[in-house]
Chain A
Amino acid sequence: MHIPDGYLSPQTCAVGYAITVPAWAVAVRRVQRVVRNRHVPTLAVLAAVSFLVMMFNIPIPDGTTAHAIGATIIAILLGPWAAVLAVSVALGFQALLFGDGGVLAFGFNCANMAVLAPFVGYGVYKLIAGRSELTAPRRALAAAVGGYAGINAAAFAAAIEFGLQPDLFHNAAGAPLYAPYHLDQTIPAMMLAHLTIAGIAEGILTGGVVAYLQRANLPLLRVNHAGVAADGEKAAAPRRGRPLRVALGAVAVMAVLTPLGLLAPGGAFGEDAPEDLDLHKYGLSAVPSGLNKYNGFWHHALFDGYDFTSDAHPTIGYIVSAVVGIAIVGAAIFLITAAVRWAAARRGATRRHETAEQS
């Protein structure tokens, strides 16, 4: 999954850095706050561990071996932001010392394996682990599934980055200038290998380490699990999702999935324009008059047909439409979450008021 230089265009690589540099900036600030001036030795040692974890050959049930990236296990032990920095440094070593992964492509390699993988893996882990005890077998299982999901998310992102190249960059004769495969070829190729082999390796490592630490080194597991009960302790109150965070999360998921629209062949059923209807297929002799009358009733859409350049630049039109759509849906989710929170807070206040009056 380490993308070498030459597979992605320099323009695409610039986008990779545009994603990763802000993530690094936030990560440095967050990690400094958590571990204060201990961050340099802690992160340095973690980066070294992350690098070595990529050297562990993991026996897969069918008799082959594969190696993991270890992003999820670091996220579970010290938080996803620490994982961002540790895996980035490890990837930097590989790019500069061993030519494994490109220098221009370093931005996207980090976006996939050092940003997306730990956050997806950690999110899945938190979701499955729920409020179970620190020593519960459910946590080891959650870690294994989290690791599996994290590496597959990274592979999926890499497949999208490869698959967009031939559509965006080709010469006058139509020869692709960079990675030559389309999305419908890159996604199955990448996902087959990662769903079956690499994902299992990451899952075995992540689950195995958590299971071992539950038995042998609980203090280390507790570093990033403040407030999680172990063996009958009382758990702290859970944190509620903040509206902005929920909205941004939803927007991020949609943004990652946007390019999938380019994959879809043909059109959706029932969305054809009247002149595209296959009348013969439905046993009709003419377009129904009602359909004719009300079709095109509303002509004032901002991005008519997901486009605003009257088909001069279909790809740009599609992407701009997507970005605007994502922003609007994100804003809607923000408002809904804020309203739900406001209602909950109001109900809580009324209840407190009533209790106070009764006593």
Chain B
Amino acid sequence: MSEQAVDERVQVPQWLLQKELAMCPCGCIGKRKKGGYLRKTLNGGAGLLRQVMFSDDTARQRGLLQRVDPRVKFLSMIVLLVAAGLARNIPTLVAVYAVTLALAAASRLPVGFFIKRVWLFVPIFTGIVVLPATLSVVTHGDVVLTLWHWHGRAEGFTSQGLTSAGLVVSRVAVSISLVVLLTLTTPWVRLLAALRSVGVPRIFILIIGMAYRYIFLLLNTVTDMYQARTSRTIGAAKHDGGARAFLGASGGALFGKANQLSEEVHQAMTARGYRGDARTLQAFRLTGFDIAAALCCAALAAAILIGDHFLGN
């Protein structure tokens, strides 16, 4: 994405991008209250912009993975995801996680940010979700820590349950790390071109590329509608039928605007000679560095599978 395009996008006011001081995330001081739907939607939009803009920054730095051809990176990610998916031992997955951390450091990603981005939400959420599965009530097996007795039978954490929980959480963390490594080190446009050259049909690439552009335009429309509503609202936003009617109306208005927009875009494309297909520039050239990276990835995947096999089932 060019500098100009980045600048064009920044239309959400700066105060929305900054986290407000002395305010809890639900957006109120003093008494605890659930955040209103208006504020949540506005914050969601601002968070989206912040995240995408930061990805563009890190992708432009000069690190190890930024130098690798996006096609090689994409295919390597898939190969490693499958290898991690097939691993059956926690030590294997922990080792792969250590490799992703090393790669993040070598690619000049802030390691603290990388860890937070990976662990916040999905793996922690997964940990909470699989917690009950460590108990003998869900996963039967050898009880290693007895918590209570039921009809004379010991119930508690089972070794099978703990193994399973450890496997799932570490596998989720490794998988997300691999995807985040790819997206933080590859500019979005280059990633799309890579998808095209690994066989994703051109129509999908066109749709994805244009959709990405219009997300930000329509995001502005949505935040404008919601901001207009908040500025007209005195007191707290109510959770009533009026709020739901406003939501239906703003959804309907968004569809109407989008429909009109697609008509206009199509007319503009036709005026510039669009006839239903498009040509893309293919500027990728594999270098020795890329081939070395691909070989490293293949070796790593083989090491994961062979090492895991030796650790046993």
Contacts and interface: CB of A to CB of B under 8 A. Distances in A.
**Are A and B genuine complex partners?**
yes
Interface of A: 4-7, 9-10, 13, 24, 28, 36-49, 51-53, 55-61, 63-65, 73, 77, 85, 89-90, 92-93, 95-100, 102-104, 166, 171-182, 185, 204-205, 207-213, 216-217, 220, 223
A181 B313 contact: no
B245 A208 contact: yes
A253 B138 CA distance: 30
B97 to A, nearest CB: 12
A332 B161 CA distance: 45
B138 to A, nearest CB: 7
Contacts of A185: 138
B211 A174 contact: no
B72 interface: no
A53 B85 CA distance: 32
B268 to A, nearest CB: 9
Interface in B28-54: 34-38, 40-41, 44-45, 48, 51-52
Contact of A44 (B117, B138, B173, B206): B206
B251 A48 contact: no
B175 to A, nearest CB: 3
Contacts of A42: 262, 266
Max count, chain B CB within 10 A of own CB: residue among A10, A13, A53, A209 = A209
B85 A13 contact: yes
A38 B275 CA distance: 9
B159 A209 contact: no
A223 B255 CA distance: 12
Nearest to A37: B276
Contacts of B244: 58-59, 204, 208
A205 to B, nearest CB: 6
B179 A95 contact: yes
Interface of B: 34-38, 40-41, 44-45, 48, 51-52, 55, 77-78, 81-82, 84-86, 88, 117-118, 122, 126, 130, 133, 138-142, 159-161, 163-165, 167-168, 171-176, 179-180, 182-183, 188, 191, 201, 203-204, 206-215, 217-219, 222, 239-240, 243-245, 247-256, 258-259, 261-262, 265-266, 269, 274-276, 278, 312-313
Nearest to A204: B244
Contacts, number: 265
A161 B239 CA distance: 35
B175 A175 contact: no
A177 B251 contact: no
Contact of A209 (B172, B175, B214, B251): B251
What does DSSP make chain A's interface, helix, strand, loop or mixed?
helix
Given A44-B211, A55-B44, A99-B180, A10 B86 contact: yes
A208 B172 contact: no
Contacts of B275: 37
B41 A5 contact: no
A290 B166 CA distance: 56
A63 to B, nearest CB: 5
Contact of B211 (A5, A45, A172, A182): A45
